[in-house]
Amino acid sequence: MEADFIIVGAGSAGCAMAYRLSEAGASVIVIEHGGTDAGPFIQMPAALSYPMNMSRYDWGYMSEEEPHLGNRKLVCPRGKVIGGSSSINGMVYVRGHAHDFDHWRDQGADGWGYADVLPYYKRMETWHDGGHGGNPDWRGKDGPLHVTRGPRNNPLHAAFVEAGRQAGYQVTDDYNGEQQEGFGPMEQTVYKGRRWSAANAYLKPALQRDNCTVVRGLACKVVIENQRATGVEVKRGGKTEVIRARREVVLAASSLNSPKLLMLSGVGPAAHLAEHGIDVVADRPGVGANLQDHLEVYFQMAASQPVTLYKYWNLICKGLLGAQWLFTKTGLGASNQFESAAFIRSRAGIDYPDIQYHFLPLAVRYDGKAAAEGHGFQAHVGPMRSESRGNVTLRSNDPNDAPVIRFNYMSEESDWVDFRQALRLTREIFGQDAFKPYVKHEIQPGKDLVTDDELDSFIREHAESAYHPCGTCRMGRADDPLAVVDSEARVIGVVGLRVADSSIFPRITNGNLNGPSIMVGEKVSDSLLGRPPLASDNAQPWINPNWQTAQR
């Protein structure tokens, strides 16, 4: 078996590359360990808590004990299925802030500034504003990825935005357009009532072509001969075989599995590889380092009137909603229910938002457990740019073993300062007049928790990952000892091998990472094909003119 390009991982970036490379006439084999994404649990947007907790669709990874979070082990779901994590995520679509990408560029990822990535966001999207405003000039019109907005019928969605306005914040009609900062509608990768994963958007159309195939199997390592990647060793059906790449091998296996595969292939910190008896092909100490994530808490309020989704939180209603969705792709089942959002700055002197809100008209956890209080609503809130860094290392040289994942959450004092501030600002927003008709009391943290110590212990006990790991194969200049790939995503020290997924982010972007991961796949496709990048787009994003002196 051989092809021009071998892509490891049918996730967000891998599907985009399979589509673009096969569209250009190259032959592509995508190696994916997981199985089909058919079935209502994945395709029905409102059922999102199910696939994320099903071993059939998830690698089932856990962090090591986190010393600053009471030694808890946190779950870190990663999609093990066609579509990767885009098939099990919350379907929230965020591009990231313009300044995130300018920071990448300034850190050595040449050609990845906002002006460089904006054309790729436009190429990948078909944007549906749903009558909720926004400027189409900033958005894509005919890309494979459909981006929509929920109906926002629940009165709490409007109350959240109005409360933000009453608290003195900006209102924005499109956080993915000119102005991210402020309160407004949230966007989702849902189309015609179905989860619009990278598999539905990119891989399924690519598989209609003769030159694109998916091979089910576990990628064990990249075969590297004389510093050149020539193929991938794959275990399937009890046998090990090598699938050969005529042109290049691309790892798009996630920020947890891509560094693991590099290390198993001899690319990584030499001493660590030697510990596991792996011959060193390229000593790259940055492989597996620089691990970042977003941490969040669910700020929950009990509702004083039955306007929340809790009234559907029983088997009969779930069954009726499920049936309505199965037959018509409409109703509550057709949205992820994240329909209002906000990005704000935590204090004066910060030039762009560093706190994100997902608002949900139900008090519930990601694992599907509803609050004991019954009717309630919540905001997921957390800081965007934690200074803590963790790492991914090998447990052994056996490809079947999960990697060792240490996020090292909350290891910097600045993280505690930022998180306390986020909680206090949230409490103030929920205290605005817009929520007066709906608020009964604060469920969690609980109004009695006010001091730094009280908030800290709440964070220690309740902070959860937002499931945005990234950064473990950082992009940078070839002379940067901690960079793993150059600005064309080529692994430094090996020919014919690239990494293209959230691993290569130099720093985590604002918001959810599915959008930026797909964008990486789109942009790296042009590099793989030897094409010049799309012409840069110098549209200037809105920055709060008073950022130096005012928090809002």
Mind listing the pLDDT tens digit for each residue in 433-462? Answer: 999 999 999 999 999 999 999 999 999 999
Burial 338-374 (b: 16+ CB within 10 A, else e): bbbbbbbbbeeebebbbbbbbbbbbbbebeeebbebe
Q: Is the dihedral of CA 548, 513, 388, 341 positive or negative?
A: positive
191 part of a folded domain? yes
Q: Same domain, yes or no, for 505 and 375?
A: no
Specify if 307 maps to a domain: yes
The tally of domains found in the chain comes to 2
What DSSP character marks residue 53? G
Q: Is residue 473 part of a domain?
A: no
Asked if residue 24 and residue 167 are part of one domain, the reply reads no
Check whether residue 164 and residue 27 sit in a common domain.
no
Catalytic residues: 468
**Rg (Cα) of the chain, in Å, rounded?**
22
Amino acid at 92: V
The CA-atom distances, in angstroms, between 18 and each of 26, 91, 220, 445 are 9, 21, 20, 45
pLDDT of residue 169: 98
**Residue list for the binding site:** 81, 89-92
Asked if 276 and 492 touch (Cβ cutoff 8 Å), the reply is no
Token output for 342: 């906000």
- Tell me if 542 is assigned to some domain: no
Per-residue confidence (pLDDT) for residue 526, from 0 to 100: 98
The annotation places the binding site for FAD at 81, 89-92
What distance in Å separates the CA atoms of residue 376 and residue 406, rounded to the nearest whole number? 34
List, for the chain, all residue ranges whose pLDDT scores fall below the cut of 50: none
CATH code assigned at 16: 3.50.50.60
What torsion do the CA atoms of 29, 34, 36, 38 make, to the nearest 10 degrees?
-140
Q: How many separate helices (H) and strands (E) can be counted in the chain?
A: 13, 25
Q: Which domain holds residue 348?
A: 151-185+295-383+411-462
pTM score > 0.85 for this model? yes
Do 64 and 116 lie in one domain? The reply is: yes
Question: Is residue 41 located within the same domain as residue 57?
Answer: yes
Q: Look at residues 440, 462, 484 and tell me which one is the last residue of a structural domain.
A: 462
Would residue 260 count as lying in a domain? no
Residue 370: predicted pLDDT: 75
Q: Tell me: do 75 and 180 sit in the same domain.
A: no
CA 213 from chain centre, in angstroms, equals 25
Residue reference for tokens 């792709």 = 329
Within-domain flag for 80: yes
| Contact status, residue 156 vs residue 359, Cβ threshold 8 Å | yes
End-to-end CA distance of the chain: 58
What gap in Å lies between CA 81 and CA 59, rounded to an integer? 9
| Pair (136, 246) in one structural domain | yes
In a domain, 316, yes or no: yes
Statement to judge: residues 511 and 432 lie in one domain: no
- The verdict on residue 278 lying in a domain is no
pLDDT at 44: 95
Do 95 and 49 fall into the same domain? yes
CATH number of domain containing 179: 3.30.410.40
179, 321: one domain:
yes
Does one domain contain both 142 and 161? no
Which two structure tokens, joined as six digits, stand for 325? 């969705």
Closest-CA residue to 18 (of 529, 536, 533): 529
Residue 38 near residue 81 (C-beta atoms within 8 A): no
If asked whether residues 373 and 357 sit together in one domain, one would say yes
Q: Is 192 exposed, middle or buried (0-12, 13-18, 19+ CB in 10 A)?
A: exposed
